[in-house]
Structure 1
Amino acid sequence: MKIISFNANGLRSATTKGFFDWFAEQKADVLCLQETKAQEHQLADACFRPDGYHAYFRDATSKKGYSGVAIYTRRAPDEVRTALGWNDFDEEGRYIEARFGNLSVVSLYFPSGSSGEERQQFKFRSMEWFLPILDGWLKSGRDYVICGDWNIVHTRKDIKNWTSNQKNSGCLPEERAWLDVLFKERGWVDSYRQLRPDGEDYTWWSQRGAARAKNVGWRIDYQIVTPSLRDKLKSCAIASEPKFSDHAPYSVEYA
């Protein structure tokens, strides 16, 4: 099974840059998108509906044209879920889950705090609220693949400019410590780090200052999986070129 995660930063914009042409060549089983930045009726054209895939969306209802997540899948899921029970989070269009037997594939767009203190506090509240949900998923006995933009780097290897970003959202000590809890205490598996223990690849680059050309990036896009899937991880790839958004698609092959 091949799963791709991609923050499109506007699916209509990414499509004009050839994203779905690229996707057609990937032979993926599931595509998880974040930041569609559209309402579902705006994505009805054939260019947004590749042949052979079922498409499911969770749009932002609190602010149209903002956030939004989607899942494209070859096989029709048994069930699709689009809410976790906290309206402030759900209405921003940040979660969608497709269930296939005992497997759940989630497209998740975790809040960013980079726009100011109010959003950073919302991010901290989201971290506190989401941890028990993750614990519940672990205890459920289901296999989970959580794809998405988590807006947090974990280690020095995941960001080019480690020291200068210690006070910036996405690299704050409190945020990285939260990922420590996920990976080291709870047992969730970072697929990339499992497959590439010494890798220093990035999935996001600022649009300022030729950051992408200079590879001054951050790895904030993940496929985080339950321990039950650790031995199923075969390979992964970050498609930094061609450029479809400020993020790069991240794909993982599962046995």
Structure 2
Amino acid sequence: MRIATLNVNGIRAAQRRGLRDWLEAERPDIVTLQEMRAAPELVPDEVFEGYHLSYDAGSLPGRNGVAVASREAPLAVRTSMGAREFAHEGRWIEVDLPEVTVASLYLPKGASPDDHERAEAYRRKMRFLPALARHLTRARRDARRAGREFVVTGDFNIARTEHDLANPRANRRSPGFLPEEREWFGSILSPRTLVDVVRRLHPDGPGPYSWWSWRGQAWNNDAGWRIDYQLASPGLAAAATTGGTRRDPSYDRRMSDHAPVVVDYR
């Protein structure tokens, strides 16, 4: 079973940049997407030919939107993680398949607590995190009771450790690498709950990064962040054989400012 996740930064833009060709070459069984940024009727039909598309566009025009595309038809689809404040934003979708429950997440970027003009963006992210943690526990336990494994994938907008971004010292107070964000991320991981699959497969050294700014030389210098994850229940994580970032062949051929994160499971 091959699972891929990608923040497409606009599904129509990603399609113009070769998303369908990438899917045909990579052939994932399941692909999760974030920041679709399109009303359902504007999603190009040809992109997901051969897949069953489950999509929550949210109600914010041109923003957010999460999806799961699967070769198998879903048994059930849910778009709520139990937090009313965020229910309309298109940030969470989970799909029950015969052997696994798969979720696609787009976590708010937030802001630095030192940025007083964006203080509410910081507070909203801090409210989102505990709500998400509670739902992850519920979703994982529900999947286990139903005899399924569980995996949450997508853009967490947090680099968990110093190995997860190229310049940790310069980003100590940057959103996505704040101590409180990293502490929260560590709290949802354990060998008995959720496992960071790519880090398990690549335990040493920096990266593999999954996001690089469009600006400057970040991509050419591999000055990136690892903020896109697959967090799996222990049984599924133990079945992972290979995985990591599928970095685009050149800057000019990038599908998005993110790169796909792909894992093969036995």
TM-score by shorter chain over 0.5: yes
| Inter-partner Cα distance in structure 1 for 2:3 and 2:15 | 19
Distance 2:214 2:110 in 1: 17
Of residues 109, 124, 140, the one that matches 1:112 is 109
TM-score (norm 2): 0.90
Q: Counterpart of 2:14?
A: 14
- TM, length-normalised to structure 1: 0.94
3-state DSSP class of the match of 2:38?
Answer: coil
Counterpart residue number, 2:115: none
| Counterpart in the other structure of 1:251 | 262
Residues 1:39 and 2:50 are matched in the alignment: no
Q: For 1:244, give the aligned amino acid.
A: M
Aligned length: 252
Cα offset, 1:88, TM superposition: 2.3
Query: Structure 1: which 4+ aligned runs deviate by more than 6 Å?
Result: none
Letter in 2 for 1:49: F
Corresponding position: 1:154 with 2:153: no
- Correspondence 1:219 to 2:226: yes
Classify the secondary structure of the residue corresponding to 2:135: helix
Which residue is equivalent to 1:27?
Answer: 27
- The question of whether the paired residues in 1 share the 8 Å contact of 2:6 and 2:261 is answered with yes
Shift of 1:199: 4.2
- What root-mean-square deviation, in Å, do the aligned CA atoms of Structure 1 and Structure 2 show? 1.6
Note if contact 2:229-2:261 (Cα within 8 Å) is conserved in structure 1. Answer: yes
Deviations 1:87-108 (A, max 9, x none): 3212110111110135200111
2:75–2:96 contact (8 Å) kept in structure 1: yes
In the alignment, structure 1 segments of 5+ residues that lack a partner are none
> How far off its partner does 1:49 sit?
2.9
> For residues 185 and 22 of structure 1, do their structure 2 counterparts lie closer, same or farther at Cα, with a shift above 3 Å needed?
closer
Conserved in 1, the CA contact under 8 Å of 2:192 and 2:234? no
Equivalent-residue separation in structure 1 for 2:65 and 2:139 (angstroms): 22
CA contact (8 A) 1:152 1:170 kept: yes
Unaligned runs of 5+ in 2: 113-117
Deviations 1:120-168 (A, max 9, x none): 2111100011111122233332411111000001111110000110101
Counterpart mapping for 1:189-200 below 5 A: 189-200=195-206
CA distance in 1, matches of 2:192, 2:88: 28
Aligned to 1:58: 56
Contact 1:193 1:199 in 2 (8 A): no
In the alignment, is the contact (CA less than 8 A) between 1:135 and 1:186 conserved in 2? no
Q: Percent of aligned positions with the same letter in both sequences?
A: 38
